[in-house]
Amino acid sequence: MTYLIFHLVHIFSVFIYGGFLITDNLILMRMQKTLSPQKYAEVRKYFALFTKQLVPKALIVAVVSGAYLIHVNFGPISDDGLSNFQIVLSIKAFLGGWLGLRGVLQVFFGIQPLVFTSHRFPFIFVVIIIFLSQLMFAV
């Protein structure tokens, strides 16, 4: 039962964070082409205002619940080394951990990333993580 609760919380928090990135990268960036610079700045301001309270917390919940799910699912390492499932899960965990660390440093400590300052790179990571989550049970 604990696993199911963590899994559902993880999926829900990932939807919140991923939805934020999708909205920012696919919708708001397109609006920039059609709105005036002043109107676009106003839209971005409201978007940031409404997402600033929820999205960073959802990211932390996603990383913490993901760490628990990895702990449960990773399994023992055999004498032959990591299985294909464990390799894909490790890549997925690294990408998710990087997103979590970047988000915590940026939002809670005010440390801005030196590279990849837009949300495009985290969006690409989230898309890769989604594909890996579908692939890892098939390998």
Span 90-139, pLDDT tens digits: 999 999 999 988 888 887 888 877 666 678 888 899 999 999 999 988 87
Instruction: List the structure tokens of 54.
Output: 């929820």
* Average pLDDT rounded to a whole number, residues 37-45: 91
How many alpha carbons lie under 13 Å from residue 7 in its C-beta half-sphere?
Answer: 7
pLDDT score of 114? 66
**pLDDT reported for residue 116:** 66
1 neighbors 60 (Cβ within 8 angstroms): no
Half-sphere exposure of 2 (CA within 13 A, CB side): 5
What letter would DSSP give residue 81?
B
Length of the chain as a residue count:
139
Whether 44 contacts 28, CB under 8 Å:
yes
Q: DSSP H helical segments within 52-119, as ranges?
A: 55-73, 84-109
Residue 56 is predicted with a pLDDT of: 87
Rounded Cα gap, residues 67 and 97, in angstroms: 9
The pTM (predicted TM-score) of the whole model is 0.83
> Three-state DSSP class for 82?
coil
Is the pLDDT score of 35 beyond 80? yes
Residue 108: what pLDDT? Answer: 80
pLDDT the model gives residue 29: 85
The count of domains in the chain is: 1
Tell me the per-residue pLDDT of 54-98, one tens digit each, with 9 for 90 and over.
998 999 999 999 999 999 999 899 989 999 999 999 999 999 999
Element (H, E) at 44: helix 37-51
Q: Which range of residues forms the domain containing residue 47?
A: 2-135
Other beta carbons within 10 Å of 135: 14
Distance, CA of 82 to CA of 79 (rounded, Å): 8
